[in-house]
Amino acid sequence: MSEEIRKGQGEGSLDAPQRHPIDWRDSGYYDERALTAELERVFDICHGCRRCFSLCNAFPTLFDLVDASESMEVDGVDKADYGKVVDHCYLCDMCFMTKCPYVPPHPWNVDFPHLMLRAKAVRRRKGQVSARDRLLSSTDFVGGAVANPVAAPVVNAANRQGSVRVVLEKTLGVHRNARLPAYQSRPLRRRMRERVGADAKGEPTEATRGRVVLFATCYGNYNEPWLGEDLVAVFEHNGIPVTLAAAERCCGMPKLELGDLEAVARAKAQNVPELASWVDAGWDVVAPVPSCVLMFKQELPLMFPDDDAVARVRDAAFDPFEYLMLRHKANKLKTDFKNPLGRIAYHVACHQRVQNIGLKTRDVLKLVPGTEVSVIERCSGHDGTYAVKREFHETAMKIVRPVVNRVKSAEADHYTSDCAMAARHIENGLNDGTQAETPMALLRMAYGL
């Protein structure tokens, strides 16, 4: 073994990847010249490596630009075209976490997703963000305005009208064939107003406190409230009290994907003190959407490395199935399953994969007798709002195709994903009248709850 590899600095190092804090409050972060130089440096490394060609459309876009240039090197690519690569990055983090041998501690220090984030932040500071992107990323504003008994039926009906969708595509740039989530008349947080109080007792284990605050998430609150309802049913069946924080805002992930780091900071300023107060009182935090869990576990701690409250929330934030598996390890998970689930085609969401927790959803589902889980570890291509945008929808449908083929060949009784939005995108790719289910709904079904 070479000295470099032994020190964890060479290609093939066995050391865990390290992620540097995001320097977003430093004025140099927004220096366009420095950014362009860094893009050129990293693009050149990627051109020489090309491992990530199949992960998303950012890398094929870069390699096509290089191959079409006169020199067939990165120096032949027009710098004005760098933005085309940035456009296709939806910050799934997969190139950092699963593929790249040049991430820190390697001295080449490649963090492709966070470089894309910087490029998006610079672009946003220059005001180069469309009204469509601002609106789509304002999930709590839109959800708050629409998810009520008056507006929800009207908006849902309009979104199903072909003529409305054509207008929406022309005016706003939302692809006419993209599935838009339906809004609820009664959001989850209203349905769950009567949750247990702060005095509810949990049974702690070494790794969990046995009582959780549910971060409902915008999608779980306004669009698919059963994500939270199923979670509550399963957790309470296992003796874990679930409550809601007094107030909640979007976790900030849609704004992060837009490079709007100030908006992320504003969301953090509301969510973190509230969640930290629960954590300090002996509660853990779970959320039914992997991207939101990742926000608390990874992105906020990297944006605010010196913030103690952010670190306390990070340490108490769990993916729901990670939590259930930790309870199982401590013999605190009930296995009184009543119904076999048969064959399940299970798509692992990118933002859950990059949490580095292993396949906990699969492991929990496999505890159910008469259940076989076939795992699909590929990006679905939904990725926040990427799949609904006019200019990216067709590409998103191409990205999901291998996942759809795997679901078909699994001949499963159920298909599911940790990310409900990815599941709907797979459903759209299948387009055969079947419906995706969530892993928590399947577990609830197995318990017969």
Residues that bind ligand SF4 (CB under 6 A): 45-46, 49-52, 55-56, 58-59, 89-95, 99-100, 102, 110, 112-113, 116
Q: Which structure tokens are listed for 387? A: 């799949």
Nearer to ligand SF4, 350 or 420 (CB): 350
For the CB of residue 113, give the shortest distance to ligand SF4 in the complex, in Å: 4
Q: Which structure tokens are listed for 442? A: 């399947």
Nearer to ligand SF4, 104 or 228 (CB): 104
Nearer to ligand SF4, 52 or 313 (CB): 52
Nearer to ligand SF4, 244 or 379 (CB): 379
Q: Which structure tokens are listed for 166? A: 């054509």
For the CB of residue 175, give the shortest distance to ligand SF4 in the complex, in Å: 18
> Tokens 């075209």, residue?
81
> Tokens 């507006």, residue?
151
For the CB of residue 168, give the shortest distance to ligand SF4 in the complex, in Å: 25
For the CB of residue 401, give the shortest distance to ligand SF4 in the complex, in Å: 17
Nearer to ligand SF4, 100 or 302 (CB): 100
Nearer to ligand SF4, 45 or 172 (CB): 45
Most distant CA atoms of the chain, gap in Å: 69
Helix (H) or strand (E) holding 115: helix 112-125
For the CB of residue 58, give the shortest distance to ligand SF4 in the complex, in Å: 4
Kind of pairing, strands 342-347 and 414-417?
parallel
For the CB of residue 405, give the shortest distance to ligand SF4 in the complex, in Å: 20
Those residues whose C-beta lies under 8 Å from the C-beta of residue 266, and which sit 6 or more positions away, are: none
Those residues whose C-beta lies under 8 Å from the C-beta of residue 436, and which sit 6 or more positions away, are: 415, 416, 417, 420, 423, 424, 426, 427
DSSP, residue by residue, 228-266: HHHHHHHHHHTT--EEE-S-----SHHHHHTT-HHHHHH
In angstroms, the Cα distances linking 136 to 21, 129, 181, 384, 388 are: 27, 11, 12, 9, 9
Query: Residue 306: left (phi > 0), alpha (psi -120 to 50), or beta?
Result: alpha
Nearer to ligand SF4, 21 or 48 (CB): 48
- Closest residue by Cα to residue 365 from 177, 240, 234: 234
For the CB of residue 376, give the shortest distance to ligand SF4 in the complex, in Å: 17
Nearer to ligand SF4, 46 or 443 (CB): 46
Q: Which structure tokens are listed for 108? A: 């080449």
For the CB of residue 8, give the shortest distance to ligand SF4 in the complex, in Å: 17
- Rounded to 5 degrees, what are φ and ψ at 206? -60, -35
Those residues whose C-beta lies under 8 Å from the C-beta of residue 139, and which sit 6 or more positions away, are: 218, 219, 222, 250, 254
Nearer to ligand SF4, 95 or 302 (CB): 95
Helices (H) then strands (E): counts for the chain: 24, 7
> Tokens 């669009």, residue?
223
Nearer to ligand SF4, 11 or 280 (CB): 11
For the CB of residue 87, give the shortest distance to ligand SF4 in the complex, in Å: 10
For the CB of residue 24, give the shortest distance to ligand SF4 in the complex, in Å: 17
